[in-house]
Amino acid sequence: MLALVGGLVNPTHAAEQPPAPNGARNFYAVLDEVLADFEYDLKSGQVSGLKDVSIRNIGTSENVPASFKPHLELLITERIMKTTKTRIVHCIACRSKKTQLDGKSMTISSADTNSVELQRIAKMNGIQNFMDVVYAYQPSGMILSFQISDVETGTTVWTHSYNSENTRASAQRRGVDFQQADEAKYKMEYMPTMQVKPTLYTVMAPKAGSGYSTALGFGLRMMERYDNRQKEVGFEMNYYYDVSKLIGITQPASNVWANFNLTMLFTHAWGLFGEEENFNVTRGVIHAGIGGTYASGFLGGLIRGGYEWRFAKHWTLTSFLGYRPTGTAMISGTQLKLSGIEGGLGVGYLF
């Protein structure tokens, strides 16, 4: 069995290996993960130069037996033909060697060292692009590199390396959303990532005149994530509903939270989870916002800051503390001041 016990087992010693212990990784399973990333790029159209392609050379590290090369070539061919409509040309003449005797000297040459001869063979076989593959094996992992070049010009059309420690499968085992790596590696133009989060709060908010009101709050935050998910910017909308009125207790007109009200904040957030967001651990986010509130007879400002805990992929626990600068509420023709500190705690769901 080909297994990973502190590293990848060399395929030349497969028969000598004991059964893999729990948690060990099979050699060919790891290779399949690397090829699966190549297949993903094929499906998403990231691989260029696939028209009438021929696999020209396959190079391997010294610790990989030569008998592994045709096996690897067939695995790569299988992925290409499975995913695309590409015509794979098996070019025997491209790899053949030519011997020439000139008196007492003998010259051995191959087509890959003679560009003119290689172009002639490619044209005769209808090949438009050559693919070269390099496979490197180390006990800690494997790397599979591809290069596709144009037959006529010799220029590189596409090249990419796949590392077994950075595959989508390994990222999923670490609890990482591989979409963030895709954005960094594949998208040449900036593509916004929008995040929507409804939240249910319990809030302590100041009343007009004096005193505080306990209210249920509904929040809807819409943020755009940027800087590799390190920062977020957008808006948050809140609606407060006084708990006393909810249970049927009549509230005075000075309690603006017992009537229609709407808070709108321009918000910015900073992630504290480092370069890679891992859904297996709790992540911290600091957020700050500035805006205002409209209610019946009241229009005032609000400054808010807070801290958010994110659990798994979707759940959040959000705390905030805000300050309302002095504003005037017109209640039944009477002017009342509304100012003070407010705070809240809420549970949200990230989309």
What does the domain layout of the chain look like in residue ranges? Answer: 3-173, 193-349
Q: Say which CATH class 193-349 falls into.
A: mainly beta
Q: What is the pLDDT of residue 116?
A: 82
Measure the CA–CA gap between 257 and 276, rounded to whole angstroms: 41
Measure the CA–CA gap between 111 and 154, rounded to whole angstroms: 14
Contact partners, residue 288, CB within 8 Å, separation at least 6: 267, 268, 269, 304, 305, 306
Instruction: Specify whether the CB–CB gap between 151 and 143 falls below 8 A.
Output: no
Q: What is the pLDDT of residue 179?
A: 58
Measure the CA–CA gap between 321 and 277, rounded to whole angstroms: 26
Look at residues 302, 298, 296 and name the one whose alpha carbon lies nearest to residue 265: 302
Architecture (CATH level 2) of domain 3-173: 3-Layer(aba) Sandwich (3.40)
Q: Which two tokens stand for residue 176?
A: 């990482």
List per-residue pLDDT tens for the chain, 351 residues long: 333 434 444 454 444 444 455 555 678 888 998 998 899 889 888 899 988 999 999 999 999 999 999 999 999 999 999 888 889 998 888 877 777 777 777 777 676 677 788 888 889 989 999 999 999 998 788 999 999 999 988 899 999 999 988 777 666 655 656 555 555 444 444 556 889 999 999 999 998 888 899 999 999 999 999 887 889 999 999 999 999 888 888 877 778 898 899 999 999 999 998 777 888 899 999 999 999 999 988 999 999 999 999 999 899 999 999 999 999 888 777 888 999 999 999 999 999
Q: Which two tokens stand for residue 211?
A: 């005193």
Measure the CA–CA gap between 47 and 156, rounded to whole angstroms: 12
Q: What is the pLDDT of residue 309?
A: 97
Instruction: Specify whether the CB–CB gap between 128 and 52 falls below 8 A.
Output: yes
Instruction: Specify whether the CB–CB gap between 27 and 9 falls below 8 A.
Output: yes
Q: What is the pLDDT of residue 17?
A: 44
Measure the CA–CA gap between 227 and 225, rounded to whole angstroms: 7
Q: What is the pLDDT of residue 177?
A: 60
